[in-house]
Structure 1
Amino acid sequence: MFGNKKTNNTPLVKSPERFDTLIGRQTEIHGTLRVMQSVRIDGKLVGNIEAPKDQAITVVVGQEGEIQGDVIASRVIVAGKVSGNIDAHERVEMLASALVQGDVKYGSIAVEHGARLLGLLLQVDANGPQEPQNQAKDAIRKAQSAGVSE
């Protein structure tokens, strides 16, 4: 009944994904990183990470990793620090050691106890793209109406 059953939606499931690109702890990069395969950041990146929307690419920010910029990818897993917005078309995972200072757009999300977020959580609408300001207004309106009983 209360076993350790894991599903595909269970947070922080180990995946067989390969990371051919690794930014090491002693490395600092300045500029935009356009990736065509999954990447793990254990160092520091000052700039954005951009992955094509039509490819299942994962960006992992390790516990020592830091990104000062926006992250756009299918899946984003954060154990370190992101100072910028995250746009994950598929899934976002925030581990207990994560600090995200920016808005997070996601298809699905998993957050461990202790993760910190200074920004908005915005679920991606399946009906198509929407302006971030309109998404925020819609999310606030929906939250306010949920508290009103009819």
Structure 2
Amino acid sequence: MAKNAMVFRPEEENVAYIGAGVTLKGEISASDLIIVDGAIEGDVSARVIQVGQAGVIRGSVTATEADVSGWISDHVEIKELLVVRATGRVEGKVTYGEIELEKGAVIVGDLTALEEDGAAKPASAAKASAERVEVLGALPKPSSIERINEAVRSAKGGKGGLYLAADGEEKRVTTRALIGRKSSAGA
């Protein structure tokens, strides 16, 4: 659940619950919490929105925080924290303050991060236009430059020459010239 999310209690005011098997068409708004285990087709707004594994929202979603284990599509604007769980899927135009993705979470569409003052960050820094992002949980394999940098760091204290060869190549390239240079890759 989102860090400040509330737990649903039927006796509480300003809380809405859409149960499994229920489909709501239209606009729904609550000042505190909306929990969706069913389906909503339309605009949804609340301080906190929680979408269960079977929950679906198709429409414009506006909230301060959202915790998604189900599916949201179309236009999503989360001012502070968007959490997408392992079973969650968010599609469409997505604007968020902070984002947290679990292994297996899927986000498809235009992503825009908000600055702390609520303004959108420049597109070049925050937009992943029409890209599919899947969080697989495993760390990526080191890139060639990272492997070279690691070899160079190891060679600095060692004696003798260090040679690297690309896969399938018999040509050996000395890395002595690389020692002491900084990589532009930021490693």
TM-score norm. by structure 1 comes to 0.72
Which residue is equivalent to 2:23? 28
Residue-pair matches, total: 125
Query: Given the alignment, which residue of 52, 59, 62 partners 1:69?
Result: 59
Distance between the aligned counterparts of 1:47 and 1:135, measured in 2? 29
Give the structure with higher Rg (CA): 2
Q: Is the 8 A contact 2:18 2:35 kept in 1?
A: yes
Q: Tell me by how many angstroms 1:16 deviates.
A: 6.7
Q: Which runs of 4+ in 1 moved over 6 A?
A: none
* Residues 1:139 and 2:126 are matched in the alignment: yes
Q: Tell me by how many angstroms 1:14 deviates.
A: 6.8
Q: Is the 8 A contact 2:97 2:114 kept in 1?
A: yes
Which residue is equivalent to 2:111? 121
3-state SS of the aligned residue for 1:64? Answer: coil
Moved more, 18-27 or 33-42: 18-27
5+ unaligned residues in a row in structure 1: which ranges? 1-11, 52-56, 141-147
Provide closer, same or farther for how the CA distance between residues 16 and 129 of structure 1 changes in structure 2, counting only shifts above 3 A. Answer: closer
5+ unaligned residues in a row in structure 2: which ranges? 9-14, 128-183
Distance between the aligned counterparts of 1:71 and 1:119, measured in 2? 15
Provide closer, same or farther for how the CA distance between residues 16 and 28 of structure 1 changes in structure 2, counting only shifts above 3 A. Answer: closer
Provide closer, same or farther for how the CA distance between residues 127 and 14 of structure 1 changes in structure 2, counting only shifts above 3 A. Answer: closer
Q: Looking at both structures, which has the greater relative contact order when contacts are Cα pairs under 8 Å and sequence separation is at least 6?
A: 1
Which residue is equivalent to 1:110? 100
* Residues 1:58 and 2:37 are matched in the alignment: no
Which amino acid in the other structure matches residue 111 of structure 2?
L
Query: Given the alignment, which residue of 91, 115, 123 partners 2:81?
Result: 91
3-state SS of the aligned residue for 1:17? Answer: coil
Q: Is the 8 A contact 2:2 2:81 kept in 1?
A: no
- Superposed CA deviations along residues 91-114 of structure 1, whole A, max 9, x for unmatched, are 000001111111221111110011
TM-score norm. by structure 2 comes to 0.58
3-state SS of the aligned residue for 1:103? Answer: strand
- Superposed CA deviations along residues 53-95 of structure 1, whole A, max 9, x for unmatched, are xxxx210011000011121010011100111221111100000
Moved more, 17-26 or 35-44: 17-26
**Matched residues, percent identical?**
29
Which amino acid in the other structure matches residue 25 of structure 1?
A
